[in-house]
């Protein structure tokens, strides 16, 4: 089809069973254009057209409108001529006119990009010619009013003046409908449509000061440039930034001969899916409307009808329509136009087999002839994603590796948390929005204090922000809502760990703890009022919303099994309790990579002993308090070892600054003073004394164990005794004791010495022994740099990427919320490094640490724990760095298992 030689084409034609491009050229032609070309070459009836490449969009940005139009003018004119000869019509001709659509199309489909303009090429003369040629005035004028409406809105900026204004064209139509006493767009008479065209044009003139363009070529160039501009429109830029799509990609422009679904009762338009996008069920389905055009089906101007008879019957059941009524009033396409249906059915089958994935298609029927206007891999729910991939595998359409690569890791989340009933969500009233910090669905009564969470059977903990003291309450509450804090705030991290629904940083909430009320704008909510949280969208909803249990379908289990077949890197879990350990095991965790012992100290009876330990002034006093803690810790470890039954368990020694454990409220301080028989003042003094300027850089981690060796001693004893007790019961356990926050070799050596001598003492006492490892976290940059020396001593490394990120960037995790969002918005940072591992910088330290460590201990076991262990891109990085295992919260274990497999597969491709 190409006429120009030796120049890289800027325009690619398709139609008449041929095409210059194909579906592999998505980067150049955009997704829509590439697939139109491919379909055409496959012999599927696609209206002929052409695609102006994404590169031209970039050139336009650099060179401007005038130059770019000159550059592509000849090719565009030639391509229009190709369409004309195929269609037997002429662009701008008033007797036999060609009309076209102008459609945007980036390499990925982007909501918020430019809307499509249909019926371009219309003017006062063309409309008369079209009416005469088709002998259908209604159709010709309907097309004309649609064109002005779309062109006016998209190209001439005839948009509503403000958010609560209605579209100026809609306003005119509403007015006329009222006057005429009609409800639907298809009830307009020819005269009505003529009036609308006149009024629309006047509105354009009034608003823009310009006449509506009548020359089809002017219209065409105007629309092409508008598509290019839309790439840099606010909505598109926002969406691009959110997804990390670079500005250089640009959008393509597709110009295509119009086919008309609005020519009467033998015409129509619709959308269809080769499988169910909600459930994944292998049933062809979709909706259509007779005598309609473009987005009418999606926009809901009339109630659309079902494509298949089965679908129609299912729909009728829900809509409570009797079968005889259904067949007459809402017949399926299958019943109404059996031949067209058969043809469509063939194409959907062809396209799904060709693309080897579920397709989302658009079609139009013009006077009894079927045309396909778009196909793409259809968007789907997490459940559908898994089912479709596994079904395609079983059907032999894709192989195992392809099935695994077809899964979007983060979407598995949807399968792991309870979800709102989509039907209930439709009528829900959203009162505010926050960050979707932890997915899931929660409904409950508002409580403002953690210790009141148990007041109601279902509670939602609403806080300005949460702190470690709130842990128990957070665990009891059905969901957590905070006014402050980001995606790595305490509330968010803990909630994700618990697999609990959480919305954080909902700035619109005004919380008054004293009055126990919550203000959102004018509305006041009291303690005990029902609210619902949609942790997947960040929507805060008034009242109760029905939930449904997620279905961990058979396919999901099969997928996980398949992942383990290909995954090389192991996946462990972060678990602090037997309950979490069990959940993680059910999700396939291959061990525990991090048990944080401090969480155990926050529970009711323990916190007292813990506080006594902290408040003690002497070693003897501390030892006394630690003695009380010992049996409790030991019992915890026994529970965890038992749950993991033979799998490795890494236990981290006490890590946080002691200040976190002491009471900060007067009432609790008094209580403690009484219990310890000391003065309130003494308690207050100690609390003040423990306060640090930079607690995260202060007296914490191994610095605690090195200054108070008796703490390490007690913890080691609890671990080793627990293991010995279980050994006696026949349960094998191999604890891995982990020293946190070391920066120097000596820091480790001192701790190791205490651990080993304590263990040896116990072995002697019991006349029995177990195997155990002593390793360390690598979370201080210096430790990564000194890894060769440290590895000479340590049995294993575990990169604590939360602290490592904090210390490498020099960002306090607890204060980063003040500037990180702005940094991301301004593009100073691409994303939150606490969420997505900064491979470039922090990743270097992980690499260096691993390499240097293995230079002195070749078989050194290396893992990572921290929030990144369940984040797909970070997990992939870990595999490529040669890490032995990642450790993540229980609910992310399946995701990490999948990514581990995907990463391994990718290196074989």
- Of 19, 103, 44, 45, the closest CA to residue 355 belongs to 44
Of 255-263, 523-531, 802-810, 818-826, the segment contacting ligand ADP by CB under 6 A is: 255-263
Q: Tally the C-alpha atoms within 13 A of residue 464's C-alpha that lie toward its C-beta.
A: 7
User: CA-CA distance, 265 to 268, in Å (whole number)?
Assistant: 7
In the set 702, 865, 878, 888, the catalytic residue is 865
**Minimum CB separation from Mg ion for residue 362, in Å?**
5
Q: What is the smallest separation between the CB atom of 269 and ligand ADP, expressed in angstroms?
A: 6
Active-site entry in 490, 599, 659, 868: 490
Please say whether the beta carbons of 883 and 863 come within 8 A: yes
Q: Does 367 bind ligand ADP (CB under 6 A)?
A: no
For residue 649, what are the β-bridge partners? 592, 735
Q: Quick check: 364 binds ligand ADP (CB under 6 A)?
A: yes
Q: How far is the CB of 208 from ligand ADP (least distance, A)?
A: 24
Of the residues 118, 425, 673, 723, which one makes contact with ligand ADP according to CB under 6 A: 118
Specify the 3-state DSSP secondary structure of 160: coil
**Active site includes 490?**
yes
Burial class of residue 520 (count of CB atoms within 10 Å of its CB; 0-12, 13-18, 19+): middle
Stretch of residues binding ligand ADP (CB under 6 A), selected from 81-89, 253-261, 501-509, 817-825:
253-261
CB burial of residue 812 (10 Å; 0-12, 13-18, 19+): middle
The interface partner of residue 452, options being Mg ion, ligand ADP, none and the CB cut-off 5 to 8 Å by kind, is: none
Residue number with CB closer to ligand ADP (294 or 743): 294
Q: Which tokens sit at 465? A: 């922000």
With CB under 6 A as the contact rule, the residue among 373, 560, 742, 786 that binds ligand ADP is 373
Give the shortest CB-440-to-ligand ADP separation in angstroms: 31
The residue count of the chain comes to 909
Minimum Å gap between C-beta 58 and ligand ADP is 20
Nearest in space to 319 (alpha carbons), one of 304, 307, 339:
304
Radius of gyration of the chain, Cα coordinates, nearest whole angstrom: 33
- Residue with Cβ nearer ligand ADP (259 or 589): 259
- For ligand ADP, the closer of residues 101 and 706 by Cβ is 101
Long-range (24+ apart) CB contacts under 8 A made by 344-349 are 344/272, 344/307, 344/370, 345/284, 347/44, 347/372, 348/272, 348/274, 348/284, 349/274
- Binding of residue 256 to ligand ADP (CB under 6 A): yes
Burial of 76 (0-12, 13-18, 19+ CB in 10 A): buried
Which of positions 40-59 make contact with ligand ADP (CB under 6 A)? 47
Q: How many CB atoms lie within 10 A of CB 681?
A: 10
Rounded Cα distance between 482 and 465, Å, is 5
Q: Is 405 helix (H, G, I), strand (E, B) or coil?
A: helix
614 binds, among Mg ion, ligand ADP, none (CB under 5 to 8 A by kind): none
Distance, CA of 204 to CA of 151 (rounded, Å) = 10
Pick the closer one to ligand ADP by CB: 295 or 408. 295
SS3 795: coil
As a whole number of angstroms, the distance between CA 318 and CA 801 comes to 50
**Residue 127 binding: pick among ligand ADP, Mg ion, none (C-beta 5-8 Å cut-off by kind):** none
Task: Give the residue, chosen from 37, 258, 629, 883, that forms a contact with ligand ADP under the rule CB under 6 A.
Answer: 258
Kindly state whether residue 101 participates in binding ligand ADP, applying the rule CB under 6 A: yes
Q: What is the largest CA-CA distance in the chain?
A: 105
Query: Under DSSP, is residue 435 helix (H, G, I), strand (E, B) or coil?
Result: strand
> CA distances (Å), 844 to each of 76, 567, 859, 865, in order?
50, 24, 20, 17
256 interface partner picked from ligand ADP, Mg ion, none, CB below 5 to 8 A per type: ligand ADP
- Strands 649-652 and 592-596, by their bridges, are parallel
Q: Which of 13, 82, 230, 374 binds ligand ADP (CB under 6 A)?
A: 374
Instruction: At 564, list the tokens.
Output: 């383990």
Report how far residue 693's alpha carbon sits from residue 695's, in angstroms, rounded to the nearest whole number: 6
How near is the Cβ of 103 to ligand ADP at its closest, in Å?
3
When CB distances are held under 5 to 8 angstroms depending on the partner's kind, the choice from ligand ADP, Mg ion, none that residue 373 binds is ligand ADP
Query: 3-state SS of the chain: helix, strand, coil percent to 5?
Result: 50, 15, 30
Nearer to ligand ADP, 102 or 778 (CB): 102
Helices (H), 108-215: 124-134, 137-154, 168-180, 190-208
Nearest to 777 by CA among 639, 653, 902: 653
Check binding of 107 to ligand ADP (CB under 6 A): no
With 0-12 CB in 10 A as exposed, 13-18 as middle and 19+ as buried, what is 165? exposed
- Contact segment (CB under 6 A) with ligand ADP among 84-92, 250-258, 460-468, 532-540 equals 250-258
Site string for ligand ADP, 752-791 (x = CB under 6 A): ----------------------------------------
Partner touching 294 among Mg ion, ligand ADP, none, CB below 5 to 8 Å by kind: ligand ADP
Which residue number, 89 or 534, has a Cβ lying nearer to ligand ADP? 89
- Phi, psi torsion values for 739, nearest 5 degrees: -95, 125
> What is the nearest approach in angstroms of ligand ADP to the Cβ of residue 844?
41
Contact 335, 305 (CB under 8 A): no
3-state class (DSSP) for residue 714: helix
Helix (H) or strand (E) holding 572: strand 570-574
Cα→Cα distances 732→216, 579, 643, 767, Å: 80, 19, 11, 17
- Considering only residues 175 through 214, tell me which ones interact with ligand ADP, judged by CB under 6 A: none
Distance between CA atoms of 255 and 263, rounded to whole angstroms?
Answer: 21
E strand or H helix at 493: helix 490-498
From ligand ADP, Mg ion, none, interface partner of 803 (C-beta below 5 to 8 A by class): Mg ion
Copy the structure tokens of residue 51: 């695609």
CB closer to ligand ADP out of 258 and 816 = 258
Does 354 qualify as catalytic in the annotation? no
CA 581 to chain centre: 26
Which residue in the set 83, 106, 126, 259 belongs to the binding site for ligand ADP (CB under 6 A)? 259
CA distance 511 to 481: 11
Instruction: Work out how close the CB of 727 gets to Mg ion at its nearest, in angstroms, rounded to a whole number.
Output: 30
> Which range in 208-216, 257-265, 304-312, 507-515 contacts ligand ADP by CB under 6 A?
257-265
Binding site for Mg ion (CB under 5 A): 374, 779, 800, 803
Total site size for ligand ADP, rule CB under 6 A: 15
230 or 374: CB nearest Mg ion? 374
The reply to whether 149 sits near ligand ADP by the rule CB under 6 A is no
String of contacts with ligand ADP for each residue 670-709, x by CB under 6 A = ----------------------------------------
Q: Name the binder of 800 from Mg ion, ligand ADP, none, CB < 5-8 A by kind.
A: Mg ion
- 533: tokens are 């949280």
113 versus 435: smaller Cβ distance to ligand ADP: 113
Q: Which of 142, 343, 362, 747 binds ligand ADP (CB under 6 A)?
A: 362
Which stretch in 144-152, 256-264, 588-596, 726-734 sits in contact with ligand ADP by CB under 6 A? 256-264
We find the least distance from the C-beta atom of residue 114 to ligand ADP, in angstroms, to be 8
Print the binding letters for residues 273-312 with ligand ADP: x by CB under 6 A, - otherwise: ---------------------xx-----------------
Rounded to a whole number of angstroms, the minimum distance from the CB of residue 285 to ligand ADP is: 17
- Our CB check for Mg ion shows the closer of 800 and 869 to be 800
Q: 112 or 621, CB closer to ligand ADP?
A: 112
Please list the active-site residues.
Answer: 490, 865
Residues that bind ligand ADP (CB under 6 A): 47, 101, 103, 116, 118, 256-259, 294-295, 362, 364, 373-374
């Amino acid at each position: 089809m190409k006429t120009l030689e030796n120049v890289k084409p800027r325009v690619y034609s398709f139609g008449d069973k041929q095409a210059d491009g194909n579906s592999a050229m998505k980067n150049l032609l955009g997704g829509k254009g590439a697939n139109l070309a491919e379909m055409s070459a496959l012999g599927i009836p696609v209206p002929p057209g052409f695609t102006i490449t994404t590169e031209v969009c970039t050139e336009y940005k650099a060179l401007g409108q005038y130059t770019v139009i000159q550059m592509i003018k000849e090719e565009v004119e030639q391509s229009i001529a190709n369409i004309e000869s195929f269609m037997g019509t002429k662009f701008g001709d008033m007797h036999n006119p060609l009309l076209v659509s102008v459609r945007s199309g980036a390499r990925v489909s982007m909501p918020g990009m430019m809307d499509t303009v249909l019926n371009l090429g219309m003017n006062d003369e063309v409309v008369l010619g079209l009416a005469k040629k088709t002998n259908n005035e209604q159709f010709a004028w309907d097309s004309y009013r649609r064109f002005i409406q779309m062109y006016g809105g998209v190209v001439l900026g005839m948009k509503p003046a403000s958010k609560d204004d209605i579209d100026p064209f809609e306003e005119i139509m509403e007015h006329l409908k009222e006057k005429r006493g009609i409800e639907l767009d298809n009830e307009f008479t020819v005269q009505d449509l003529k009036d609308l065209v006149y009024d629309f044009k006047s509105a354009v003139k009034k608003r823009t000061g310009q006449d509506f363009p009548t020359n089809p070529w002017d219209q065409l160039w105007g629309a092409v440039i508008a598509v290019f501009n839309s790439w840099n429109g606010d909505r598109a830029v926002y969406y691009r930034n959110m997804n990390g799509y670079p500005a250089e990609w640009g959008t393509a422009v597709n110009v295509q001969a119009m086919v008309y679904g609005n020519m009467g009762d033998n015409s129509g338009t619709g959308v269809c899916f080769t499988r169910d996008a909600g459930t994944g069920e292998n049933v062809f389905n979709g909706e259509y409307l007779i005598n309609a055009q473009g987005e009418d089906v999606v926009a809901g101007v009339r109630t659309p009808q079902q494509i298949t008879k089965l679908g129609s019957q299912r729909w009728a059941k829900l809509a409570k329509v009797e079968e005889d009524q259904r067949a007459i009033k809402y017949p399926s396409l299958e019943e109404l136009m059996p031949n067209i249906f058969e043809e469509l059915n063939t194409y959907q089958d062809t396209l799904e087999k060709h693309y080897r994935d579920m397709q989302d298609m658009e079609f139009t029927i013009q006077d009894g002839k079927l045309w396909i206007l778009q196909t793409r891999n259809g968007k789907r729910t997490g459940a559908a994603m898994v089912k479709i991939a596994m079904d395609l595998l079983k059907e032999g359409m894709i192989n195992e590796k392809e099935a695994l690569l077809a899964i979007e890791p983060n979407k598995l989340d949807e399968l792991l948390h309870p979800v709102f009933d989509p039907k209930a969500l439709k009528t829900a009233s959203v009162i505010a929005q926050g960050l979707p910090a932890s997915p899931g669905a929660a409904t409950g009564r508002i409580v403002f204090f953690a210790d009141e969470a148990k007041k109601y059977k279902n509670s939602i903990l609403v806080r300005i922000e949460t702190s470690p003291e709130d842990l128990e309450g957070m665990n009891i509450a059905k969901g957590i809502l905070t006014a402050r804090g980001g995606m790595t705030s305490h509330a968010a991290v803990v909630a994700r760990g618990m697999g609990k629904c959480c919305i954080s940083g909902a700035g619109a909430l005004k919380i008054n703890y004293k009055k126990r009320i919550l203000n959102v704008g004018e509305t006041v909510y009291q303690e005990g009022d029902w609210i619902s949280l949609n942790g997947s969208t960040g929507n805060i909803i008034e009242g109760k919303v029905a939930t449904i249990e997620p279905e961990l379908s058979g396919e999901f289990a099969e997928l996980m099994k398949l992942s383990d077949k290909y995954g090389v890197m192991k996946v462990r879990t972060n678990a602090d309790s037997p309950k979490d350990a069990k959940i993680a095991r059910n999700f396939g965790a291959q061990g525990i990579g991090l048990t944080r012992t401090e969480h155990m100290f926050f529970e009711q009876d323990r916190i007292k002993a813990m506080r006594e330990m902290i408040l003690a002034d002497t070693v003897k006093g501390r030892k006394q308090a630690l003695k009380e803690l010992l049996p409790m810790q030991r019992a915890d470890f026994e529970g965890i070892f038992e749950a993991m039954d033979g799998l490795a368990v890494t236990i981290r020694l006490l890590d946080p600054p002691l200040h976190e454990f002491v009471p900060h409220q007067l009432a609790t301080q008094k209580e403690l003073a009484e219990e310890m028989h000391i003065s309130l003042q003494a308690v207050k003094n100690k609390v003040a004394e423990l306060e640090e300027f930079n607690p995260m850089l202060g007296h914490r981690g191994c610095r605690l164990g090195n200054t108070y060796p008796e703490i390490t001693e007690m913890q080691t004893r609890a671990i080793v005794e627990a293991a010995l007790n279980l050994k006696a019961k026949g349960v094998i356990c191999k604890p891995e004791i982990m020293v946190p926050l070391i920066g120097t070799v000596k820091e480790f050596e001192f701790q190791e010495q205490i651990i080993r001598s304590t263990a040896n003492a116990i072995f002697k006492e019991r006349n029995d022994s177990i195997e155990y490892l002593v390793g360390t976290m690598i979370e201080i940059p210096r430790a990564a740099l000194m890894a060769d020396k440290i590895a000479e001593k340590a049995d294993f490394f575990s990169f604590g990427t939360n602290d490592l990120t904090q210390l490498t960037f020099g960002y306090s995790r607890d204060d980063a919320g003040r500037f990180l969002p702005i940094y991301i918005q301004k593009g100073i940072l691409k994303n939150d490094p606490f969420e997505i591992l900064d491979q470039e910088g922090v990743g270097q330290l992980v690499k260096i640490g691993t390499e240097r460590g293995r230079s002195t201990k070749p078989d050194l076991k290396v893992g990572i724990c921290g929030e990144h262990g369940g984040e797909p891109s970070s997990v992939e990085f870990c595999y490529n760095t040669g890490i032995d295992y990642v450790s993540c919260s229980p609910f992310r274990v399946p995701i990490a298992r999948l990514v581990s497999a995907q990463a391994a597969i990718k290196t074989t491709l």
